[in-house]
């Protein structure tokens, strides 16, 4: 497949548990994750907390090394060691936007200093003047105008939305090919969310980058993305085109997420949830399908073996025996 910028094949990530009682056990944060990201596409990863979505982003950005499986970025395998130059080159092409806009900026540096770093580290601009011009133009792009005023400020002087704009500006500054956005709007005020989402979409268009958008909000994923991956307890449950996942959701977990989302249109006429319960422990994940203890349609076979990915429709796959 030539149009794929990133391919994950059977990726596992297990974290050792460092406690005496559970010594030798592992947290199964990612198990058998395979998907590909097409060039220029927005792929959303949706799931509850603890489903392994952030671990997936961290493996792709090489913050963690995977335990098993391969991550191929533009035809190059990433699992091995890289030299410093290679690492730097990779990170110029793959940037990340973090969830917490308050924690992601150094509180002792001005916005100007923070914004200069990517240009200096990746040697994009030749001299100080060029750096300064670049900083001005990126800040203007994310709507922080006039840039001179913002460059003098410290992170604590900005609102949450403005801080997240700085983070986004910093990620787009080095003209990357892939951006991993880890719940970029979940800590922002409602009135800011839409403008940040729209800004990311328009920057994505103008820069032609691919996007992995991680969220727990199915409606937000639908708004942002071309395709959606639904993750549960470290495994992919369903993957397919965004509209298809919402209207023709196949996996019971996707249906559960859908029915739990607030929907003012339905009001009190809504049906009660089909299942409650909590996400299972990832140290001893359930045998078979990870969702079967909560699944209202579980059969005997569900507790015995992990169901394979099954083709549901065009480009639409689900891990379910139904």
Q: Residue numbers of the site for other proteins (CB under 8 A)?
A: 48-49, 159, 161-162, 189-195, 198, 216-220, 222-223, 246, 256-268, 270, 272-273, 276, 278
What distance in Å separates the CA atoms of residue 93 and residue 174, rounded to the nearest whole number? 8
Between residues 174 and 228, which has the closer beta carbon with respect to other proteins? 228
Residue 311 phi/psi, 5-degree rounding, is: -80, 125
Instruction: Check if the beta carbon of residue 321 is closer than 8 Å to that of residue 301.
Output: yes
| Cβ 33 to other proteins shortest distance, Å | 20
Q: Structure tokens of 108?
A: 């002792």
As a whole number of angstroms, the longest Cα–Cα distance in the chain is 68
Between residues 24 and 264, which has the closer beta carbon with respect to other proteins? 264
Determine the angle formed by the axes of helices 160-173 and 128-141, rounding to 10 degrees: 130
| Cβ 197 to other proteins shortest distance, Å | 8
Between residues 49 and 83, which has the closer beta carbon with respect to other proteins? 49
Q: Structure tokens of 69?
A: 């499986």
How many helices and strands (H and E) does the chain possess? 10, 12
Between residues 130 and 194, which has the closer beta carbon with respect to other proteins? 194
Instruction: Check if the beta carbon of residue 244 is closer than 8 Å to that of residue 313.
Output: yes
What distance in Å separates the CA atoms of residue 135 and residue 112, rounded to the nearest whole number? 7
Between residues 131 and 289, which has the closer beta carbon with respect to other proteins? 289
| Cβ 210 to other proteins shortest distance, Å | 20
Which letter does DSSP use for residue 242 in this model? H
| Cβ 64 to other proteins shortest distance, Å | 23
| Cβ 121 to other proteins shortest distance, Å | 31
Between residues 24 and 262, which has the closer beta carbon with respect to other proteins? 262
| Cβ 196 to other proteins shortest distance, Å | 8
């Amino acid at each position: 497949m030539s149009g794929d910028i990133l391919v994950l094949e059977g990726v596992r990530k297990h974290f050792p548990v460092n406690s005496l009682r559970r010594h030798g056990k592992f947290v199964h944060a990612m198990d058998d994750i395979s998907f590909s990201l097409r060039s220029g596409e927005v792929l959303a990863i949706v799931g509850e907390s603890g489903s392994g979505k952030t671990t997936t982003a961290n493996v792709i950005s090489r913050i963690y090394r995977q335990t098993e499986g391969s991550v191929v970025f533009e035809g190059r395998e990433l699992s091995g060691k890289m030299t410093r130059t290679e690492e730097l080159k990779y990170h110029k092409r793959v940037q990340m936007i973090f969830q917490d806009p308050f924690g992601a900026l150094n509180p002792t540096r001005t916005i100007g200093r923070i914004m200069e770093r990517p240009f200096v580290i990746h040697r994009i601009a030749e001299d100080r003047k060029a750096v300064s011009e670049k900083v001005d133009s990126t800040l203007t792009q994310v709507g922080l105008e006039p840039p001179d005023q913002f460059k003098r400020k410290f992170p604590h002087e900005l609102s949450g939305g403005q801080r997240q704009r700085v983070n986004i500006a910093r990620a787009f500054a080095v003209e990357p090919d892939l951006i991993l956005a880890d719940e970029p709007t979940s800590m922002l005020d409602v009135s800011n969310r839409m403008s940040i989402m729209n800004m990311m979409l328009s920057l994505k268009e103008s820069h032609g980058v691919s996007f992995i958008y991680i969220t727990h909000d199915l409606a937000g994923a639908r708004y942002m993305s071309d395709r959606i991956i639904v993750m549960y307890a470290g495994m992919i449950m369903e993957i397919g085109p965004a509209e298809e996942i919402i209207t023709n959701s196949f996996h019971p977990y996707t249906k559960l997420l859908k029915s739990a989302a607030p929907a003012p249109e339905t009001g009190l006429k809504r049906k009660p949830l089909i299942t409650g319960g909590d996400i299972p422990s990832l140290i001893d994940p359930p045998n078979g399908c990870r969702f079967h203890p909560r699944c209202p349609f579980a059969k005997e076979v569900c507790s015995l073996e992990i169901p394979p990915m099954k083709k549901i429709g065009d480009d639409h796959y689900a891990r379910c025996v139904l």
